[in-house]
Amino acid sequence: MKKLYEDILDAFERFEKIAVATMVTATGSTPRKAGAKMLIFPDGSVRDSIGGGIFESLVIQDALKVFETGSPVVKTY
């Protein structure tokens, strides 16, 4: 987790936009648990993971929309 926060600080120092996706709750069998975080950059690149697969693809797509609107969102997948 320390590396993730270092990446956030690096992005801020470069005045680079980032989105932070946080898994708030998880039910059933999931590869990552509540509290998992992932950074998404405007070019679609990411740091870390919140679980992979189609779920993570949807989160990345939604994060890219957030760059356009500038409004935070809470989503249920």
Identify the CA nearest to 62 among candidates 53, 51, 74.
74
Rounded CA gap, 35 and 45, in Å?
20
Given a cut of 80, is residue 1 above it in pLDDT?
Answer: no
| Residue 66 DSSP label | H
Given a cut of 90, is residue 64 above it in pLDDT?
Answer: yes
| Residue 48 DSSP label | E
Note the pLDDT of residue 44.
Answer: 94
The pTM assigned to this predicted structure is 0.85
User: Looking at the DSSP assignment, which residues form a beta bridge with residue 27?
Assistant: none
Given a cut of 90, is residue 61 above it in pLDDT?
Answer: yes
